[in-house]
Structure 1
């Protein structure tokens, strides 16, 4: 079981680390808070999967501690994403909707693969439950990025991007709180 968990977590780590760099670069270029928030979520996920990988083979107590540490990482990154939404609201931005939609779709495919991979192990301990929560939230966030891109194109306004970026930040924060409440 430990080997299966480790293999799954290595794949999740690789996918999320790659997508973090891709979405961060494109989000910055596209001036999209939704893509930036999602890239930070990808970074948090990569860190979480790395920590969960460390917990494989350790005691249930260690797995819970790793899950809680992962939750705190998510809190910090959610607050970072929310501050970026605020910054762009104050200073303005002109998000590029086509980039938002296309890279939101790429991220959705990547996170759907992650969700399928982790679904086989989601009951393996607190570290795997935390990983499941992250992956499920990511799919929701990616759908939000695509929707934001569509609404930006439709309205020719940056506000849908800001609203979706805010919602993604709050989803990440909610996921972090759920993980911090895990007891086993």
Structure 2
């Protein structure tokens, strides 16, 4: 009979991260696993004495993430080991949270002022990243059940924001509105700079070339959205049409909704899992 081995994952905040962690675990020879983006927990259905665990920890670390074992106590209860976070790393995460949430609010207001749905959708990405990172910092040491419940609320909230942007974008399809392409492009350029700043803040606290590369890959994915908004602003200015803005808004908001759904799905699965309360 196999045991259940759980790890808290530091650095995972999206479905793409979960997929990379799953590939890393499988590369170490373990196929019976689940990765929850909601509770940021990796679960392996293997014996605790399994020699492959050291390989799993090394593979996940090489992929750019950190695993902290969740130790079983008496009965079915589990407890977290003390976090590996240094004071510097914790402050870096708070700076990243401030950058993402702060600029997300600024970009959302800018989206209304510029009449740009793409800016509003990109603002959601900033807000989502910031709130997920905030959850990761605050939830250290929480039980799996409480992490899942909190993540469920967060996923539903983020999904509601995403649906709001989708709905207003559909409304804009049928109503003409002048878009301030200059303001739209400027805010998108600043968004790109904020993403680069967040990466620079994190890199000194991620050991190893692979971990540094993981920070840049994550920032690159966010930057692609910023660049898409910049290109849309250029096309709006060139063509005088709002369609480039609407197309980018649908694409970014759709990806955001998918991430929100993954959080809700994983949270519900975690809540059904046998664990302590």
Please indicate, yes or no, whether the TM-score normalized by the shorter chain is above 0.5. Answer: yes
**Which shows bigger deviation, 62-71 or 77-86?**
62-71
- Judge which range, 131-140 or 26-35, deviates more: 131-140
User: Using the alignment, how far apart are the partners of 2:96 and 2:245 within structure 1?
Assistant: 27
In the alignment, what sits opposite 2:93? 9
Q: CA–CA distance in 2 between the matches of 1:136 and 1:172?
A: 16
What corresponds to 1:49 in structure 2? 133
Distance 1:70 1:18, change over 3 A: same
Aligned to 1:100: 184
SS at match of 2:174: helix
Separation in 2 of the partners of 1:157 and 1:178? 34
Are residue 79 (structure 1) and residue 163 (structure 2) matched? Answer: yes
Name the CA shift for 1:19/1:116 in 2 (closer, same or farther; >3 Å): same
In terms of mean alpha carbon deviation, does 58-67 or 6-15 score higher? Answer: 58-67
Whether the aligned pair in 2 keeps the contact of 1:97 and 1:150 (CA below 8 Å) is yes
Q: Tell whether 2:190 aligns with 1:145.
A: no
Q: Does residue 31 in structure 1 map to residue 115 in structure 2? A: yes
Kept in 1, the 8 Å contact 2:124–2:256? The answer is no
Give the CA RMSD over aligned residues.
3.2
Deviation, 1:153, is 1.2
Structure 1 residue ranges without an equivalent (≥5): 122-130
Partner residue of 1:61? 144
What is the count of residue pairs matched by the alignment?
175
Give the whole-Å Cα distance in 2 for the aligned partners of 1:72 and 1:133.
Answer: 27
1:49 CA displacement = 2.5
Higher CA-based Rg = 2
Q: Could you list the per-position Cα deviations for residues 86-138 of structure 1 after superposition, in whole angstroms to 9, with x for gaps in the alignment?
A: 122222221111111111010011123334555766xxxxxxxxx99986653
Normalized per residue, which structure has more helix? 1
Instruction: Decide whether the 8 Å contact of 1:137 with 1:171 is kept in 2.
Output: no
Gaps of 5+ in 2: 1-83, 207-214, 271-277
Match of 2:40 in 1: none
Would you tell me which structure has more strand in proportion to its own residues? 2
Q: Verify: 1:90 aligned to 2:174, yes or no.
A: yes
- CA distances 1:130-159 after superposition (whole Å, capped 9, x unpaired): x99986653232122111101111211011
Question: Is 1:171 matched with 2:255?
Answer: yes
Tell me which of the two structures has the higher relative contact order, counting C-alpha pairs closer than 8 angstroms and 6 or more residues apart.
1
Aligned partner of residue 91 in structure 1, secondary structure: coil
